[in-house]
A and B are shown apart, each in its own frame.
Chain A
Amino acid sequence: MSRSETTPRFAERGRNYWPLTGALVVLLLVASMALGPVLRASSWWWVMAAVSTITLVSAGAFRHLGWARSVVPLAAGGVLLVTLTLFFGNGSGLLWLVPTPGTVEQWGGLAEAGMLSIQQQAVPAVVYPGILFLLAVGAGLLAIALDTVAITLRFPAIAGALILIPVSVPALITKSGTDLAALVLTACAYLLLLRVDVRIRRRSEAATRDRGRAAPRSSGPERRGPGPVWGSLGVGSIAIVSALVLSAATPALSDSSVISNKQTGVLFGSGVSPLIDLGQDLRRPEASLAMHYGTTAEDQPYFKLLTLDSFSEDLEWVAGRGATDITNTMDEFGDPEGLTNAVERDEISTTVQIDTVISSWLPVPYPATSIDGLDGDWQWDDGALTVSSDKSTTQGQSYKVAGLELKPTAEQLRASGTDYPEAIRQYLELPENAPAIIGELAAEETANVANPYDAAIALQRYFRSSAYAYSTEAPVDEGYDGGSLDVIARFLDVKKGYCIHFASAMAVMARTLGIPSRIALGYLPGDSTRDTMEGLPRWNVTTHDLHTWPELYFPGVGWVPFEPTTGRGSIPDYARGVGQASTAPLAPSTNDQANRDAALQDREQNSGGVATAAQVSLLWLQVSLVVLGAVLILLLPFLIRTVGRLQRRRRVASGRASPSLLWRELVDSAVDLGLGVPDTETARHLASRLSASGGLTDAVAAALERLRDAVEHERYARPGAEARHRNEALVDDLDVVLASLRSGVDVRARLRAALLPRSLRPEAFGPGRGRSAAAA
């Protein structure tokens, strides 16, 4: 098997490798489609396609021109630079093509911006120029690497490992993993590459075959054409289909597996992103520490990242206020909207240390009056008093927030009225095609209340009632994740969801009732620890504390947060209930903690207990089925052989077949036991050989002789001669002989004869004992 001797190790000059280049282009284009679930829109694909095609084709052209092997990747790299200058140089290149220092600077900025937005955005990410640039660079580099490995080094199979890079990106980022359709397409393109490679290899070998005197020569039909098309299609499609079936049928190890927790955010940072991604953060099995803080406030504050206050075209909540005013620097904070001095307040101070959360929004308690110690360039938003930056991130920040702890009373809120300022009226807008059920349900639940505050309390109580259940899984399972109006309608029907559903439902219902509302996204106060932080009790906030809640506007008080999510967070004093809110003694933190733990336990019991038992039994069923199937397949030769033996005995015993069938059984059994039986051996010779091998008792030898005589009689006697044997007796004789033969060999040979009978495929197990392969 020294076939590599004649095939050239590396790509040769002047040989035609265009088909391989073509297959690589197809493979790369198809593989980059797999990025689809991670990125929005599709323009990025065209850019990647263009860059990778240009790079691959240019490498092919240089090779076609006969350039040296080592130069081709470098030259292709040059072409990649030119292409990038053209696409991303923004006209800074010489003649738009040759990169200049300005171009490099431009690219540096793009790359930095790209990295930043990759860290911040969650999937599917909007493809900003920075990301697009990084994608193009990646596609170009991948193209050069593929070309080098597959064509220059002639290892096209290893190109499959490289192509896994773009394919595995969605798998690393999203929970659902890479799209199966994309995988199947990539597999097809990869098979195409392999097929093209095999053809090129053959052609190259045929062209460069050894011309020495002793070399094999051949002359035959010069067939052209695609080769075994149906064979390739058949093999490829059977493999892909069976892979689909197998991968679907493989029982997954259950979630309880210790190593099954999936670390997301390998590429895209553990960024805070609106709505759906919040759900992903909550579903993550293991929480990571987002930040910790110490505060002087009586009740630990919620940390607000951003507010969502209007609807996009597809009825999704978005932050619609537009760009932040860049003059709103940290030097001077604005006043909270609508707050009057009538509301009781405490000055509080909170020291925050960020741990893992990376975001361009800063977690800040509402309302803040000043922030000290921030690195970078941050702006605050006019209405919401949230703090964000388009250049810096929260990574590693440590800062001190001075703010207010507002303590409005229920009476104040109830008396606030509905005299909303003009600027606030925009928070009443609802899309015209909002589902009717939201308004109907809101009206129904607030049928007998007199003012907005009581309506809000009624809604909150409604959501926190036992009719609703907290579940991070149900929305995903039933396909209504998110915060859009359609989702809210669905949620009101199913009555299972998590904070985003509760918050957006309450906010929308408030708007239908004429109360200005918006959604705040941020962190719950978290858990207290025994440590201290600058003399204050330290609180830890984990990624599981990510939360949304509605804020409703009351004239004279401003934006007031509510907590409709059942089992989560703490209900503010003013929102406790109608009338007796101010009188009720409260112990928020401890109470809340117990509250939450209970809720969590409930959730685990509800979804976990029953489901786990079912899953475990299903898993066992699957495992045992697979094991059973495997055992059956392994026993198949044994079964076939045994059934065949019984069949032969029965046929002879019943007289339907002649004794030579028994003799064939004897020969097969001898072959099974590893006693080689040449095809040419006569019955007499075999019988004498078996007798001569020793170990046969007289009775066995006599039985063997009777068998042999019967066979010889059948084969050689005159037609019509009287047979002296009875078939039933012969079957017994056979059993005696076989038992004796079996006892003559060791256990391993016997086991092998039973499980892997050689007689089923004599040739498959190589030449028998004492026979050379050449003398077949």
Chain B
Amino acid sequence: MADDVRSQKLWWPRPTVRGWAFLAAGIAMFLYGLFLERRDALFVACFLIAIPLVAMGYVLVRRMRVHVTRSFSPVIVPAGSEAVVSLVVQNLSVRPSYGARWRDQAESGISVPASALMPSLGRHGRVDEGDTARLEYTLTPRRRGVFGIGPLILDRADPFGLASGEQTAGVPHDLVVTPRVSPLPGNALSLTNGDGSMHELLRHSNPNSDELIAREYRPGDPLRRMNWPATARHGELMVRQEEQRSNPEARLIIDTTHSVGVRGGSTITRPRLDGAFELSLEMAASIGIHLLDAGFRLDVIETGASQLSPATDRVRGGLRGDTPTPYRLPAGDRDLLEGLANLVLPANGGGHDTRADSPGSAIRNPGNRLPTFAVLIDVDVREAQELAALRPYSEPAIAFVVDTVAPVVVEQLEDAGWRCVQLRNARGIAQAWEQTGRERRPVDEPV
């Protein structure tokens, strides 16, 4: 508790507008009284000058000792939605508190409401007086990021409204604002054309597929999972049950670097690039949550130095040999969103590491072709080549391209076999996703 008080920041009390007016009037009257030799005017003047000063002294002396507990609800909030900040303020002083105001503070990017009255707190430990107040307000963070909220600022006042002094109470807490997650249409399982590594293992150890438990066919099950013997036996379409235990994987590529190429982002202004970055992270978060919910294990590859799981050997970028960051349920969705909340776009183009390995080293299981999604904002020719090199290990390979990407690069990617889907704004996320499904259907599904 003692530490709680010592860590307080205390500002000098300041006169209010009324206090300043008193001081000004007092000084004017003091001069009048002094030069015209009026004791009564001098008294009034001294009174007018003294009362704001004494009030400031009162405010200075009567600092509040409170214990503040802060909590957010929900703990992680998507950008654009609301979070309720709850503060429980308990009076630790033997004196009740009167007339204080409170306001919270936040790092730039989050707007907090103006100050409000705080209920008068009773003496510490007096249940009948009530020494605890609960303060609440609603935040609506507009931007993704991690923001320090707090400490609480208490504004003490004197009984006559002449002076006020601020002090802090409690400690700041971080509010994690994740990118907005748009619900995507469709069943992600339909993406897989591989069988999953677990299934491979099972199949190797148990070659007799007939003995595997079958279940009835449900729309969306791939044709190649049909258990034809069981179908024959039951007279209706059956699929292999163990497919559920399979371990589908997917790959998500996030563009966290600027290009420094000739036709690169040098012509793109920083605010536009920031907007594109936010949009790409929203897309990535939507895809990631969609895939994780569908039971995928997700490998996230950053083109720049890893910020999701930073380490000294992970500075080259996922396309040049750094291992991807894996996510899977049950905790993966939260980890992914928190990780995305913390991502920043480096200020400069970022030095490309020349000691790059081949992109193949990012692929843990070269024999398997994983569904790969790339969200691109600013790719140069060289990165496009690296992406192209990844194409053979990807099926399908879909690149969501924000309009800051140069058309040359888009062409290059399409030539390499990437399916490029244009992404213009956050409202088009679901639509863009749907577009990929429609185009794929005739290819993948025989129906």
A3 to B16, CA, bound (A): 11
Which residues of the partner chain B approach A244 to less than 8 Å between Cβ atoms?
A: 43, 46
Q: Tell me, yes or no, whether B404 is within 8 Å of chain A by CB.
A: no
Q: Tell me, yes or no, whether A216 is within 8 Å of chain B by CB.
A: yes
Could you tell me if B132 and A775 are in contact, using CB atoms closer than 8 angstroms? no
Binds A, one of B3-11, B377-385, B411-419: B3-11
30 inter-chain pairs at a CB distance below 8 angstroms, sorted by A residue, are: A3-B115, A157-B22, A171-B38, A198-B160, A209-B117, A213-B82, A214-B113, A214-B139, A215-B116, A218-B119, A218-B135, A219-B133, A220-B120, A221-B120, A221-B130, A227-B99, A231-B98, A232-B159, A235-B54, A235-B159, A236-B51, A239-B51, A242-B46, A253-B34, A260-B35, A763-B9, A773-B9, A774-B105, A774-B150, A776-B151
Q: Which of the four size classes fits the interface of chain A?
A: 35 or more
A218 to B121, CA, bound (A): 12
Nearest A residue to B25, CB-CB: A161
* Secondary structure dominating the interface of A: helix
A220 and B119 in contact, given A228-B159, A235-B55 (Cβ under 8 angstroms): yes
Which residues of the partner chain A approach B132 to less than 8 Å between Cβ atoms?
A: 220-221
> Contacting B47 at CB < 8 Å: which of A209, A221, A239, A250?
A239
Q: Tell me, yes or no, whether B101 is within 8 Å of chain A by CB.
A: yes
Which residues of the partner chain B approach A776 to less than 8 Å between Cβ atoms?
A: 7, 9, 151, 168, 172
The contact string, 1 if C-beta is below 8 Å from chain B, for chain A 1-36, is: 111011000000000000000000000000000000
Could you tell me if A774 and B172 are in contact, using CB atoms closer than 8 angstroms? yes
A774 and B106 in contact, given A191-B160, A235-B58, A763-B11 (Cβ under 8 angstroms): yes
Nearest CB in chain B: distance from A405 CB, A: 45
Chain A residues within 8 Å of B, Cβ to Cβ:
1-3, 5-6, 157, 161, 164, 171, 177-178, 180, 183-184, 187, 191, 194-195, 197-198, 201-202, 205-206, 209-210, 213-223, 227-228, 231-232, 234-236, 238-240, 242-244, 246-248, 250, 252-253, 255, 257, 259-260, 262, 763-764, 766-767, 772-776
Size of the B side of the interface (Cβ < 8 Å), in residues, is 77
A764 and B10 in contact, given A244-B43, A253-B34 (Cβ under 8 angstroms): yes
A253 and B37 in contact, given A202-B117, A218-B135, A764-B10 (Cβ under 8 angstroms): yes
Q: Tell me, yes or no, whether B430 is within 8 Å of chain A by CB.
A: no
A776 to B51, CA, bound (A): 32
A195 and B159 in contact, given A219-B133, A223-B96, A231-B58 (Cβ under 8 angstroms): yes
Which residues of the partner chain A approach B139 to less than 8 Å between Cβ atoms?
A: 214
Which residues of the partner chain A approach B51 to less than 8 Å between Cβ atoms?
A: 191, 235-236, 239, 243
Could you tell me if B37 and A243 are in contact, using CB atoms closer than 8 angstroms? no
> Contacting B117 at CB < 8 Å: which of A171, A218, A246?
A218
Could you tell me if B62 and A221 are in contact, using CB atoms closer than 8 angstroms? no
Which residues of the partner chain B approach A232 to less than 8 Å between Cβ atoms?
A: 159-160
Could you tell me if A766 and B11 are in contact, using CB atoms closer than 8 angstroms? yes
Nearest CB in chain B: distance from A6 CB, A: 8
Could you tell me if A773 and B105 are in contact, using CB atoms closer than 8 angstroms? yes
Could you tell me if A247 and B161 are in contact, using CB atoms closer than 8 angstroms? no
Which residues of the partner chain B approach A3 to less than 8 Å between Cβ atoms?
A: 101, 114-115
Which residues of the partner chain B approach A775 to less than 8 Å between Cβ atoms?
A: 148, 172
Q: Tell me, yes or no, whether B42 is within 8 Å of chain A by CB.
A: yes
Could you tell me if B40 and A183 are in contact, using CB atoms closer than 8 angstroms? yes
Nearest CB in chain A: distance from B82 CB, A: 7
Could you tell me if A214 and B45 are in contact, using CB atoms closer than 8 angstroms? no
Could you tell me if B161 and A201 are in contact, using CB atoms closer than 8 angstroms? yes
A776 to B58, CA, bound (A): 25
Nearest CB in chain B: distance from A250 CB, A: 6
Nearest CB in chain A: distance from B133 CB, A: 3
Nearest CB in chain B: distance from A20 CB, A: 13
Q: Tell me, yes or no, whether B39 is within 8 Å of chain A by CB.
A: yes
Nearest CB in chain A: distance from B193 CB, A: 47
Q: Tell me, yes or no, whether B406 is within 8 Å of chain A by CB.
A: no
Most buried by A among B18, B130, B160: B160
Nearest CB in chain B: distance from A46 CB, A: 25
Among B62-100, those with CB < 8 Å from A are 62, 82, 89, 96, 98-99
A206 and B117 in contact, given A197-B161, A243-B43, A247-B45 (Cβ under 8 angstroms): yes
Q: Tell me, yes or no, whether B188 is within 8 Å of chain A by CB.
A: no
Q: Tell me, yes or no, whether B107 is within 8 Å of chain A by CB.
A: yes
Which residues of the partner chain B approach A1 to less than 8 Å between Cβ atoms?
A: 114-115
> Contacting B62 at CB < 8 Å: which of A227, A231, A247?
A231
A184 to B40, CA, bound (A): 10
Could you tell me if B130 and A180 are in contact, using CB atoms closer than 8 angstroms? no
Which residues of the partner chain A approach B158 to less than 8 Å between Cβ atoms?
A: 231, 235
A213 to B135, CA, bound (A): 14
Could you tell me if B38 and A240 are in contact, using CB atoms closer than 8 angstroms? no
> Contacting A5 at CB < 8 Å: which of B34, B39, B114, B134?
B114
Nearest CB in chain B: distance from A205 CB, A: 6
The contact string, 1 if C-beta is below 8 Å from chain A, for chain B 152-163, is: 000001111110
Nearest B residue to A242, CB-CB: B50
Which residues of the partner chain B approach A195 to less than 8 Å between Cβ atoms?
A: 159-160
Which residues of the partner chain A approach B131 to less than 8 Å between Cβ atoms?
A: 221
A262 and B36 in contact, given A243-B43, A774-B106 (Cβ under 8 angstroms): yes
Which residues of the partner chain A approach B117 to less than 8 Å between Cβ atoms?
A: 202, 205-206, 209, 218
Q: Tell me, yes or no, whether B41 is within 8 Å of chain A by CB.
A: yes
A763 and B40 in contact, given A198-B99, A216-B116, A239-B51 (Cβ under 8 angstroms): no
A262 to B40, CA, bound (A): 14
Could you tell me if B58 and A764 are in contact, using CB atoms closer than 8 angstroms? no
Which residues of the partner chain B approach A246 to less than 8 Å between Cβ atoms?
A: 42, 46, 50
Nearest B residue to A252, CB-CB: B37
A246 to B18, CA, bound (A): 22
Most buried by A among B12, B82, B114, B159: B159
Nearest CB in chain A: distance from B19 CB, A: 10
Could you tell me if A774 and B36 are in contact, using CB atoms closer than 8 angstroms? no
Nearest CB in chain A: distance from B228 CB, A: 58
Nearest A residue to B140, CB-CB: A214
> Contacting A259 at CB < 8 Å: which of B10, B35, B160?
B35
A762 to B325, CA, bound (A): 45
Nearest A residue to B157, CB-CB: A198
A6 to B116, CA, bound (A): 9
Could you tell me if B129 and A223 are in contact, using CB atoms closer than 8 angstroms? yes
Which residues of the partner chain B approach A766 to less than 8 Å between Cβ atoms?
A: 11
Which residues of the partner chain A approach B41 to less than 8 Å between Cβ atoms?
A: 171, 177
A232 to B98, CA, bound (A): 11
Which residues of the partner chain A approach B82 to less than 8 Å between Cβ atoms?
A: 213
A243 to B55, CA, bound (A): 14
A220 and B133 in contact, given A214-B138, A214-B140 (Cβ under 8 angstroms): yes
Q: Tell me, yes or no, whether B136 is within 8 Å of chain A by CB.
A: yes
> Contacting B43 at CB < 8 Å: which of A183, A216, A257?
A183
A688 to B53, CA, bound (A): 44
Nearest A residue to B158, CB-CB: A235
> Contacting A227 at CB < 8 Å: which of B53, B159, B172?
B159
Q: Tell me, yes or no, whether B118 is within 8 Å of chain A by CB.
A: yes
> Contacting A217 at CB < 8 Å: which of B137, B148, B151?
B137
A213 to B82, CA, bound (A): 10
Could you tell me if A187 and B9 are in contact, using CB atoms closer than 8 angstroms? no
Q: Tell me, yes or no, whether B44 is within 8 Å of chain A by CB.
A: yes
Which residues of the partner chain A approach B33 to less than 8 Å between Cβ atoms?
A: 247
A234 to B47, CA, bound (A): 14
Given A243-B43, A774-B148: 4 more A-B contacts, CB < 8 Å: A171-B41, A763-B11, A774-B107, A774-B172
Which residues of the partner chain A approach B98 to less than 8 Å between Cβ atoms?
A: 227-228, 231
Which residues of the partner chain B approach A764 to less than 8 Å between Cβ atoms?
A: 10-12
Q: Tell me, yes or no, whether B122 is within 8 Å of chain A by CB.
A: yes
Which residues of the partner chain B approach A183 to less than 8 Å between Cβ atoms?
A: 40, 43-44, 47
Nearest CB in chain B: distance from A511 CB, A: 41
Most buried by A among B99, B107, B117, B157: B117
Q: Tell me, yes or no, whether B21 is within 8 Å of chain A by CB.
A: yes
A217 to B84, CA, bound (A): 11
Could you tell me if B40 and A220 are in contact, using CB atoms closer than 8 angstroms? no
Could you tell me if B46 and A157 are in contact, using CB atoms closer than 8 angstroms? no
Could you tell me if B7 and A216 are in contact, using CB atoms closer than 8 angstroms? no
